[in-house]
Amino acid sequence: MDLAAAFAACPRARFLPPDQQPYAGLDRALPLGYDVTCSQPTTVRRMLELLGPRPGDRVLDVGCGSGWTTALLAHLVGPAGRVVGVEIIPEVLAAGTRHLAGLTGLTGLARVELHLTAPGAPLGWPAGAPYDRILVAADAPVLAPDLVAQLVLGGVLVGPVRGEMLRVERHGRYVFVPLRTLDP
């Protein structure tokens, strides 16, 4: 996985609103509007390291925002891979679509498709499942079973839960007694 090449091929500034482009080199989250941000580069780099996308992988990008992580993932999984991005805010998805359209001249990118998630719909994009990797770019109150269910066996999900970055790998079903605590 060549993260340096991916970051060079997909410069953050191309995925920011014009008023934020001068700040693209800063290591901080930058506003995209609609209470959405483009995460800081060190966070994105670490998440991609934890995710470990490989050439040919099918990847789900939850909260694709400006399209920057979607483009990075497309570069990492290459032409044999596929990246599905989902977003809940139509205006943010429209901007991400425009940003990604500007990359069509680059060779070696995966097939990319973006979708608007409907209110009340399951998290992710079950219609495109299963995925080898799932990247989540918004903090969740709990690990989302809807997303874990969309992973292949051996698949990896990376995303924040209550402010802590988690890496979850799916290994299949087993039978155990329920976990319980002792009453005091």
Q: How confident is the model over 11-27, as pLDDT tens digits?
A: 999 999 999 999 999 99
The pLDDT tens digits of the residues spanning 148-173 come to 999 999 999 999 999 999 999 999 88
Query: Dihedral, CA atoms, 3, 166, 20, 103, nearest 10 degrees?
Result: 40
pLDDT of residue 120 exceeding 90:
no
pTM of the predicted model as reported, rounded to 2 decimal places: 0.93
pLDDT of residue 85: 97
CA distance 58 to 128: 9
CA distance 9 to 27: 18
Catalytic positions are 39
Domains of the chain in start order, with CATH, are 3-167 (3.40.50.150)
pLDDT of residue 151: 97
Residue 75 C-beta-side C-alpha neighbours within 13 Å: 22
The pLDDT tens digits of the residues spanning 55-86 come to 999 999 999 999 999 999 999 999 999 999 99
More reliable by pLDDT, 110 or 52: 52
